[in-house]
Chains A and B, each alone.
Chain A
């Protein structure tokens, strides 16, 4: 069995202000140092990524007058994967009389995350969620409205109120395009220098501080460095490590992982969310798993045939031979249980032989009753584009036959560790959005990711980054001729040369696909000790094979999409091991991290608050060894309790 080298480092502090977590953010902001308007342009800040967090942060810092350098590997700042989020964005505006409140939002988020996130972070998320809606509406996002002209909302999983604001099934797109346009406004104003198709390949660290980045131009292959007073990474999540995921094909962990290689701690890598309403794999040529919005669970009913192996068409199965298993097991939340629970329940049904479809790898999501209740017109207004997308992907019409859905790798709750100010353990390196670990604990609630990206970008980093900058007034960014810059450039070149020079015979995607299979099996919806150990062994073998057999055509000094992918897969091969190590190390079940050894009598996740009420933040040791630090978690406003959605 694999020899796994884990050692334990010192506990770390999240630097949460002492006292009531409900007022922590206000008190922290009052403590932050300021930079006067005339001094702001003297500070250069690099923001990597132009999704909701990155575009928001770059635009907001630009509006304030800082000198911002924004980077994206896409051809335009509009493309980032935030664009694909469908269902909505939560906000604790609590305008209705359904008894929502800041406190209830925090409770839902903390409990939804199974008490493995920071309570004070959730309060900030709730508090700032109010003006996020005002701001995104203000810059042009056409939120859905009631006939009376007010904002309308819908419900999402894990919540018993209606606090999700939306624009049909394309909320992410409307928010992303609005943020992109706000960023382009700053580009036109000259405050933001936007670099498109530049991929970050390394972080420059001098005297323990983040002072710049190295990037490769994807169109020309040219490698260059830029230095600054601070660096913000808003580079998204790592779900694509599973190869078949709901993420866009280019989403990757490289920027975050290279920062980890330079010393930034990586928090909770094992916490990965499997989305219960992804489309099942139907052929080996399928390039990804398409996501269907969770909002469909508002009106769709999930079921499987009562009899295992039933091969009748869905509409031929009578009502009393259907098992609406979520409604049966979780009557209080029914089809709107949180994602981890819905995914695990689906996996159980599929493994017990109740799966449907040609490969028996999916469950039904049925709109028959909703169609009767609401009519086709209302149904199409709510989900029209999703129904169309489903029809394109499968050739079937969900108005007539139930959708088939299956759990697919989706959102990374884990990410670079940051403190309450969203600064990593490397001073000057800040993290926003899914690239970080904040808010969501061991399971993210639906419609909280668009929110956290917006809150980070528009309403947290613009406060906390200047606090760091203020201490460096009068200092110039590190000279690009500095030894440390030259050395980092050389390191990046060496990594590229190494990949180019393997000259084996196997294309990159083959390794990636095999890695995905290993992870789905070993570190998927449920895990156990022996599956994880086997996965680690297989990942190491695959990594050796990668360095022996990889073939990248062309050269490094040109547009080379195979080389781009090879660099990303190289990083996944390291991240995947850390995910398994974290999952193996954490001897409890929490949220999306379900260890089969740790479950209640009725099969629910069993936390161990005595021993595991902390965030694991991993440091990279030499020769693939792993050093685990812990940030202890305390809960003052929301009492530690067992999750119960029954």
Chain B
């Protein structure tokens, strides 16, 4: 295949970035999007130039490290699929691909296609956990959780923390991400004792660090883990519930 790549280059957070164009010959349909960048980088380094910086790790769609915006779509053209599992068979011979970092006010660019997503970990620090110390947990078999309930919790726990939902949102909202955490833990008995406390602190954190949710739904179309759109409803539900239970943890 022959492709034209227009790729975002930015040396560091303090300087402006620009698009750089590359004509690529010899790409193959079965290559993944990231393997295409590897291929281009190999040419660049062989010519003595600096390669395009980008993040990736497992290349199996589970670690959440990768995330490249392709022609304005976070992760690429195939819905609900991470960049590492996007393949060139989605593109036409001769097509132009514009590659950018995940774009969001909460994600400053570090270099080229690499962004800083530490704002997401601050949501977890605010309360995205169960406060149980090592060795003190109850017997897992004495805690009965119906098959359907466990599966539902897993639907939300499947979030891989890539941040594409936030980049896909015109407002830069983190409601799908935060909602997946809230729904995962509120569905399980383990998460009940801190439910209101968790909701208050997580929602305060996303209100401060991310944009508001206007239910565009772009997040759920993009999400590579297929987190259901109902996660965003969880944010408002948990917000209302916590307000009614003022002064209580659960």
- Please give, as numbers and ranges, the residues of chain A lying within 8 Å of B58 by CB-CB distance: 81, 83-84, 248-249
The residue among B63, B150, B153 with the most chain A CB atoms within 10 A of its own CB is B63
Q: Is B208 an interface residue (CB 8 A)?
A: no
Q: Which of B35-43, B165-173, B211-219, B229-237 is the contact stretch?
A: B35-43
Q: Decide yes or no whether B221 CB sits under 8 A from chain A.
A: no
A462 contact from B134, B138, B139, Cβ within 8 A:
B134
- Minimum Cβ distance to chain A for residue B232 (Å): 20
Q: Let me know if A42 is at the binding interface, CB within 8 A.
A: no
Q: Write the A445-463 contact mask toward B (1 if CB under 8 angstroms, else 0).
A: 0000000000000110010
Interface positions of B from 95 to 152, Cβ below 8 Å from A: 110-111, 114, 116-118, 120-121, 124-126, 128-141, 143-147, 149-151
Could you say which residues of chain A place their CB within 8 Å of the CB of B111? 219, 559
Given contacts A248-B59, A248-B63, contact A76 B161 (CB under 8 A): yes
Q: Is A209 an interface residue (CB 8 A)?
A: no
Binds B, one of A287-295, A336-344, A416-424, A575-583: A287-295
Chain A residue nearest in CB terms to B128 = A181
Across the interface, do B157 and A174 meet the contact criterion of CB distance under 8 Å? Answer: yes
8 Å CB contacts to B: which residues of A562-612? 562
**In A107-155, which residues have CB < 8 Å from any B CB?**
131, 133-135, 137-151
Provide the bound-state CA to CA distance between A282 and B166, in Å: 35
CB A379 to nearest CB in B, in angstroms, measures: 15
Complex contact A188–B141 (CB within 8 A) = no
Residues of B within 8 A of A628 (CB): none
Which A residues from 66 to 94 make CB contacts under 8 A with B?
A: 74-79, 81, 83-84, 93
Are B129 and A84 in contact (CB-based, < 8 A)?
Answer: no
A94 smallest CB distance to B (angstroms): 11
Shortest Cβ gap from A61 to chain B (Å): 9
Point out the residues of chain A lying under 8 angstroms from B60, CB to CB: 84, 290-291, 389
CB–CB A287/B61 < 8 A: no
Contact between chains at B140 and A134 (CB < 8 Å): yes
Docked CA distance A553–B28 (Å):
27
Does A505 lie within 8 Å of B46, measured CB to CB? yes
Interface membership of B209, Cβ < 8 A? no
B193 CB to nearest A CB, Å? 11
Which A residues lie within 8 Å of B131 (CB)? Answer: 185
Decide: A75 and B134 in contact? CB cutoff 8 A.
no
- Are A184 and B57 in contact, with the CB atoms below 8 A? no
Contact status A78-B64, CB under 8 Å: yes
A95 touches B141 (CB 8 A): yes
Q: Is the CB of B45 within 8 A of A170?
A: no
Contact in complex: B53, A559 (CB < 8 Å): yes
A16 to chain B, nearest CB (A): 23
A145 to B131, CA, bound (A): 22
Name the CB-closest residue of A to B110. Answer: A219
Contact assessment for B35 and A60 in the assembled complex, using a CB-CB cutoff below 8 Å: no
CA distance A302 to B151 in the complex (A): 29
Q: How far is the CA of A14 from the CA of B120 in the complex (A)?
A: 43
B50 in complex: contacting residue of A138, A143, A554, CB < 8 Å: A554
Q: Is the CB of B130 within 8 A of A140?
A: yes
A465 in the interface (beta carbon within 8 A): no
Q: List 19 A-B contacts (CB under 8 A).
A: A60-B133, A63-B133, A75-B65, A76-B121, A77-B121, A79-B63, A134-B137, A135-B137, A139-B137, A140-B190, A147-B147, A172-B62, A177-B157, A184-B124, A249-B56, A250-B57, A395-B87, A505-B46, A554-B50
Question: Top 10 closest A-B pairs, CB basis?
Answer: A138-B137, A149-B144, A137-B140, A181-B129, A142-B153, A145-B150, A507-B45, A188-B125, A248-B57, A60-B134
Residues of B within 8 A of A (CB): 11-12, 28, 30-32, 34-35, 38-39, 42, 45-46, 48-51, 53, 55-65, 81, 85, 87, 89, 110-111, 114, 116-118, 120-121, 124-126, 128-141, 143-147, 149-151, 153-154, 157-161, 184-185, 187-188, 190-191
